[in-house]
Amino acid sequence: MLRELHAYMRLTREWDLRYEKMFKTGALSKWYSSVGNEATTVACGSAIEKGDALVSLHRDVGAILRHYVNIEELFPDIFPEKMSLVRQPLGGDSRDRLFRLACQMLGREHGFSGGHERSYHYNHMEPDHGLIHLGMISHLGSMIPVAAGAALSFQQQGLDRVSINFIGEGATSTGDFHEGLNIAAVWKLPFILVIENNHWAFSTPTSQQYACDNLASRALGYGIPGVEVDGNDPLAVLKVMQTAVKRARAGEGPTLVEAHLGRHRGHSEGDDSLNQVPSDELKGYLDNDPMDLIETRLLSSGIVSRAWLQEIKERSASLIMEVVDEAVAMPEPTPNTDRNTYAN
């Protein structure tokens, strides 16, 4: 199980490292890195299944990759035996999804929004494979009610599906956090809200964001469970999420999860917001890199060798390099104003 989580975390890390490099060379105008969020996002993506709704933000590519991609299909020689212990893959073409995701990041015509929307601001639906993914708008917190609405649709249809949504700790200050979570609680919607608390919203520390000790305790005010978890520990996050998902599927309503993790990067690459994080605090985050932690754990428990870790790292990096290069070579959208504003 740990090896499975690790493989997706590694793929996620290499994805970010590739785009961070492209940003530095000027090939990308903007990048929001999810380095440091992988343990939480991959674990959350591991807790959902076919037909569930994933509603993500800009640091959640770990959950997206976990949901979209079957690692056994990508690396059949490394994973010859069946490895999907935690959850079943969706089916469908993993590599093509990865390629289209790369196109989406680069605004190419073949991306999910045909170049009309930036990075993770897209929806991707594959009804045949039970893939329901709603992306973000730039207003943080706004997707909370929308994600709860996906849960409402499941409830209306009598389905035992769930909807999960990520937000940062900054968005807990919005009105939509309160309104969305409150309605979800009153209606017992199958909804899980995951706060990725990296303790800094752009340049604002938690001391200037909220006055309570932790955010999970806010759940008490909504009459739902609230759980704090170490967001650098994928097994701990997975356990919390599996409990929340089970509860939601049983019709018992939403759960609020607060995953504590570290701020490893600026708000976006190229801004200097990381300078606001005191150096000892930053060091604490970097010393607790979830990637290092899981690899140490895998090595110390003798599950894999250092050479294996190196191999999966290289293979992930080269696959992503290949896919991104293919995306770069794809045509840019032809300038036009044809896109429909209204559904016909």
Binding site for other proteins (CB under 8 A): 53, 112-113, 116-117, 121-123, 125, 132, 134-135, 137, 139, 142-157, 163, 175-176, 178-180, 182-184, 186-187, 339-344
Task: Write down the least CB distance from residue 156 to other proteins, Å.
Answer: 6
Q: Is the Cβ of residue 176 or residue 228 nearer to other proteins in the bound state?
A: 176
Task: Write down the least CB distance from residue 114 to other proteins, Å.
Answer: 9
Longest dimension (CA), the chain: 58
Q: Is the Cβ of residue 79 or residue 222 nearer to other proteins in the bound state?
A: 222
**Cα separation of 243 and 239, whole Å?**
6
Q: Is the Cβ of residue 78 or residue 146 nearer to other proteins in the bound state?
A: 146
Task: Write down the least CB distance from residue 215 to other proteins, Å.
Answer: 18
Task: Write down the least CB distance from residue 144 to other proteins, Å.
Answer: 7
Task: Write down the least CB distance from residue 343 to other proteins, Å.
Answer: 4
Name the packing angle between helices 2-24 and 290-300 (round to 10°): 140
Reduced to 3 states (helix: H, G, I; strand: E, B; else coil), residue 126 is strand
Confirm if 229 and 260 have CB atoms less than 8 A apart.
Answer: yes
**Cα separation of 344 and 340, whole Å?**
8
**Cα separation of 173 and 171, whole Å?**
5
CB-based contacts of 54, cutoff 8 Å, min separation 6: 45, 48, 63, 64, 67, 132, 133, 134, 164
**Cα separation of 10 and 12, whole Å?**
5
Q: Is the Cβ of residue 125 or residue 212 nearer to other proteins in the bound state?
A: 125
